[in-house]
């Protein structure tokens, strides 16, 4: 008997089908232990010794593995083929060693890039040992992130109340978003004019040209800065006799992009499918681990966390065969295309993301899996096949024309166009863009000859203004981080999630907008920890981590070099007063928090008392702007200047009309109520309560239009009938977020958007997993917080049916709304339990006490 350990139950289920009765496949459910969220988990003074903690759920899973090993001959660690997967195998092995569960058992580590029968059996035939270099790279990264977070965050809490946390990579990503916002705010539009001419040749064919030169000098975009100059040129050339100076045509070959890596998959899924990076990775995980195709669980794509662009030889051969059969031999290049990875560490440069079976066309499975899964699979399939197709061939033509205007100045016009001679890979796939392509490349030009006279038939003179750089989308931020070498494939989604969860950024029309607290944190770090939010420094540290995993650097030496400088910087600001910190932020954020006034007065002069000076202040609920004459002057306002972002999230109680419901004809309005913004169908004229739906948390009211409001009002929606019970499964949004439910079982969805798209297969799977987790009705322990300082006994953070709570003995206390379970401390838990105990409603103990009193009275 052999015991195989993988991360997820879905992966275990798929692999179980491929292996015989001699194998037992068990899931660890991800990492089985982690650093406790308290000081001392990483100890630099003890050569970076690390204390690990196994939560209650993981203990049970390890116990199950140990129990299975009693009758087994071999332990096979088959976690994912990357640094995190290696770390999970290492953790499992370390715990089992301490439990004495291994004894004389053989231990093997296997890794496969695809969950298919051939890949798994091949991996089992080629076992190896755990890669210590990859484990050490994981330990170094985990220690660095812990040390930065648990050293820097308390500094933030003391010096900048209201700030929640800082992180080694998340803070640099936040700086990118904030820097872009400052660019936008500092931007001043610049006027410019363009002249576009409609030309006609002798055969009567027309084409478009633009002013390209004046008196032999090139005309750039901003060369004509006002209407006077534009009209002068217009008058000079309207009747000028233009002739063709030159006609140049040259062939241009356009090559396909390589197959997907993690970052490019996230970017394209955002551009083409409108998926967030988190949703993309969740779908890709399911495609990798296996989906149900007519009762057979099949892994559809290779491993989705990779920075390698190369493909296996058999995949390339299969790809070329598919191209030949579907498009013809001309679309198959003479030689296979070879792509090289940008990854600096060959050990982590796995195969690109591709279909496990390229003959499995997207159309064959489109109606057999959830819609989003099908769409993402199609994207991967097309990108993969296109990467091995022939180049597209175009002919690019440039026509140069000139004439002497009536002012005696020589003016040049240029027309550019191209003709697609062979579509090549474009027959299947074209990469998406973050911006609109308004170039002339797709325009076809008529035949003209050098020296030929051409007529200017119409001249369009247009005014334009330069535009600020766009805010980052998730896709463009990931692209920028990748360019700078910040983070790695497995971290991008987590970074973006943390920034949103901490309230540092918000999504507005798919653009990342920094919140005031995010800008304050960035300004603080740039003022006092500048080195640690520099792009080059963070990228260099990532390179050192890569060198560790390649076996070229000692992980503890890297930690020592970082820690010695970092702790010295922290100690250096320990004596700074909060007032000094705030004044530094006043200067750095001045243009944002103290915008210039229309009357030219000092923007920091208090508008109330007119003698005080405005400054950043801190309070229990974060930072705000206040007067220096407090308490005599009590003027305060939010950080954003008057008129800026003022009550942007609020909506008038009378409502904003979004339109009329096409089915009922009733008006649909957006309103603001006691519990926040909501949408309403109809009015209240007939005395009946109209249908209403709350705007989900995290959705800006400004983005709610009629279509989205109607979607909200249609909830809950029926997903379908459960295949076992025949009863309906519904999807909706409740107090604790988006969900699916069947009878009395509720399962959370990953995002609000999934409420409107979740399919029957996905819903059934989620409900089954939820039922398995909550079997018996017992609440799960999230983590142990420590012993009660006064009464003794453990205090536990629990996850119950109605959300997270803390427990001590028979007393339970629900976490306040908005409190993250990840951040609750022992002291805060004790305070919550004491308050609950004093109220007499602390759980079973409180209820029993009430029953005893009632019985005595009777």
**Which residues are the active-site residues?**
303
Q: Is the peptide bond before 145 cis (omega within 30 degrees of 0)?
A: no
Cα–Cα distance between 806 and 379 in angstroms, integer?
44
DSSP per-residue codes, 664-693: T--EEEEEEETTEEEEEES-STTSSPPEEE
Cα–Cα distance between 661 and 693 in angstroms, integer?
14
Cα–Cα distance between 778 and 298 in angstroms, integer?
33
Cα–Cα distance between 309 and 287 in angstroms, integer?
19
Locate 702 and state its tokens. 């400004």
Q: Is 260:269 a contact under the CB 8 Å cutoff?
A: no
Q: What is the 3-state secondary structure (H, E, C) of 503-570?
A: CCEEEECCEEEECHHHHHHHHHHHHHCHHHHCHHHHHHHHHHHHHHHCCCCCHHHHHHHHHHHHHHHH
Going through 227-282 in order, the beta strands assigned E by DSSP cover: 242-254
Residue 115 in 3-state DSSP? coil
Q: Is 506:697 a contact under the CB 8 Å cutoff?
A: no
Cα–Cα distance between 108 and 129 in angstroms, integer?
6
Q: Is 314:533 a contact under the CB 8 Å cutoff?
A: no
Angle, vertex CA 806, rays to CA 34 and CA 785, nearest 5:
35
Pairing state between β 667-673 and 717-721: unpaired
Q: Is 625:615 a contact under the CB 8 Å cutoff?
A: yes
- Cβ burial of 385 (10 Å; 0-12, 13-18, 19+) is buried
Q: Is 615:604 a contact under the CB 8 Å cutoff?
A: yes
Q: Kindly list the distances between the CA atom of residue 291 and the CA atoms of 279, 296, 305, 521, 726, in Å, as whole numbers in the listed order.
A: 16, 8, 18, 43, 22
Residue 301: strand pairing partners: 355
| 366-370: long-range pairs with CB below 8 Å, 24+ | 368/293, 368/294, 369/291, 369/292, 369/293, 369/759, 369/761, 370/757, 370/758, 370/759, 370/761, 370/762
Locate 104 and state its tokens. 């004389």
Q: Kindly list the distances between the CA atom of residue 84 and the CA atoms of 32, 81, 243, 478, 572, in Å, as whole numbers in the listed order.
A: 12, 8, 66, 20, 35
Element (H, E) at 75: strand 74-77
Locate 850 and state its tokens. 């009430």
Report which of 93, 97, 120 is spatially closest to residue 108, judged by C-alpha positions. Answer: 93
Contacts (Cβ under 8 Å, ≥6 apart) of 852: none
Largest CA distance in the chain: 114
Angle, vertex CA 751, rays to CA 362 and CA 702, nearest 5:
110
The number of residues making up the chain comes to 858
């Amino acid at each position: 008997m052999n015991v195989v350990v993988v991360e997820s139950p879905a992966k275990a289920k798929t692999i179980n089908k491929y292996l015989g009765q001699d194998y037992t496949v068990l899931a660890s459910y991800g990492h089985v232990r982690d650093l406790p969220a308290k000081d001392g988990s990483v100890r630099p003074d003890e050569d970076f010794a690390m204390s690990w903690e196994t939560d209650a759920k993981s203990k049970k899973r390890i116990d199950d593995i140990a129990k299975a090993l009693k009758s087994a001959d071999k332990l096979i660690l088959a976690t994912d083929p990357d640094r995190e997967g290696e770390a999970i195998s290492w953790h499992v092995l370390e715990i089992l060693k301490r439990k004495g569960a291994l004894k004389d058992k053989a231990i093997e580590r296997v890794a496969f890039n695809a969950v298919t029968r051939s890949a798994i059996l091949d991996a089992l035939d080629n076992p190896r040992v755990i890669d210590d270099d990859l484990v050490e790279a994981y330990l170094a990264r985990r220690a660095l992130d812990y040390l930065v977070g648990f050293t820097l965050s308390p500094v933030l809490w003391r010096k900048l109340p209201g700030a929640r946390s800082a992180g080694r990579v998340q803070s640099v990503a936040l700086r990118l978003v904030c820097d872009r916002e400052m660019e936008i705010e500092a931007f001043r539009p610049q006027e410019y004019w363009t002249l576009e001419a409609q030309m006609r040749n002798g055969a009567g064919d027309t084409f478009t040209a633009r002013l390209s030169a004046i008196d032999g000098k090139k005309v750039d975009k901003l060369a004509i800065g006002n209407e006077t100059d534009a009209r002068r040129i217009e008058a000079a050339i309207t009747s000028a006799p233009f002739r063709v100076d030159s006609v140049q045509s040259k062939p241009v070959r356009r090559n396909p992009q390589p197959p997907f890596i993690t970052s490019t998959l996230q970017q394209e899924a955002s551009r083409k499918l409108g998926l967030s990076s988190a949703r993309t990775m969740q779908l890709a995980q399911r495609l990798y681990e296996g989906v149900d195709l007519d009762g057979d669980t099949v892994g559809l794509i290779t491993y989705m966390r990779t920075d390698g662009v190369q493909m296996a030889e058999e995949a390339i051969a299969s790809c070329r065969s598919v191209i030949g059969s579907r498009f013809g031999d001309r679309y198959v290049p003479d030689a296979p295309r070879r792509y090289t990875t940008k990854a600096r560490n060959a050990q982590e440069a796995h195969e690109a993301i591709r279909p496990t079976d390229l003959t499995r066309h997207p159309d064959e499975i489109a109606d057999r899996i959830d819609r989003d899964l099908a769409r993402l699979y199609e994207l991967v399939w097309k990108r993969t096949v296109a990467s091995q197709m022939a180049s597209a061939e175009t002919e690019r033509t440039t026509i140069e024309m000139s004439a002497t205007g009536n002012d005696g100045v020589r003016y040049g016009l240029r027309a550019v166009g191209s003709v697609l001679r062979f579509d090549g890979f474009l027959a299947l796939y074209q990469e998406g863009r973050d911006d609109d392509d308004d170039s002339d490349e797709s325009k076809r030009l008529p035949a003209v000859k050098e020296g030929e006279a051409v007529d200017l038939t119409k001249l369009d003179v247009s005014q334009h203004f330069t535009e600020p750089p766009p805010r980052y989308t998730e896709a463009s931020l990931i692209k920028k981080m990748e360019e700078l070498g910040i983070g790695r494939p497995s971290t991008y989604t987590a970074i973006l999630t943390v920034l949103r969860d901490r309230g540092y950024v918000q999504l507005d029309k798919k653009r990342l907008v920094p919140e005031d607290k995010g800008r304050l944190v960035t300004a603080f770090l740039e003022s006092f920890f500048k080195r640690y939010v520099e792009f080059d420094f963070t990228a260099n540290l990532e390179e050192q981590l890569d060198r560790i995993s390649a076996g070229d650097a000692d992980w503890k030496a890297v930690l020592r070099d970082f820690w010695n400088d970092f702790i010295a910087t922290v100690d250096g600001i320990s004596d700074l007063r909060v007032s000094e910190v705030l004044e530094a932020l006043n200067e750095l954020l001045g243009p944002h928090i103290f915008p210039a006034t229309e009357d030219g007065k000092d923007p920091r002069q208090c508008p109330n008392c007119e003698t005080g000076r405005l400054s950043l202040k801190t309070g229990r609920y974060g930072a705000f702007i206040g007067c220096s004459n407090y308490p005599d002057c009590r003027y305060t306002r939010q950080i954003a200047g008057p008129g800026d972002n003022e009550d942007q999230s609020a909506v008038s109680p009378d409502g904003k009309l979004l339109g009329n419901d096409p089915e009922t004809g009733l008006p649909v309005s957006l309103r603001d109520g006691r519990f926040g913004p909501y949408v309403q169908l109809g009015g209240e004229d007939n005395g009946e309560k109209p249908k209403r739906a709350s705007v989900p948390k995290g959705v800006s009211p400004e983005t709610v239009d009629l279509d989205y409001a109607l979607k909200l009002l249609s909830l809950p929606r029926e997903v379908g009938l459960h295949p076992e019970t025949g009863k309906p499964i519904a999807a909706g949004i409740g107090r604790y977020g988006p969900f699916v439910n069947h009878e009395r079982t509720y399962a959370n969805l990953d995002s609000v958007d999934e409420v409107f798209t979740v399919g029957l297969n996905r819903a059934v799977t989620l409900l089954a997993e939820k039922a398995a987790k909550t079997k018996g009705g017992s609440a799960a322990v999230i983590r142990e917080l420590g012993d009660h300082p006064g009464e003794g006994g453990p205090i536990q953070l629990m996850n119950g049916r109605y959300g997270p709570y803390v427990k001590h003995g028979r007393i339970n206390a629900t976490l306040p709304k908005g409190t993250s379970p990840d951040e609750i401390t022992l002291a805060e838990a004790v305070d919550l339990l004491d308050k609950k105990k004093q109220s007499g409603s602390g759980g079973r103990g409180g209820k029993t006490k009430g029953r005893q009193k009632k019985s005595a009275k009777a």
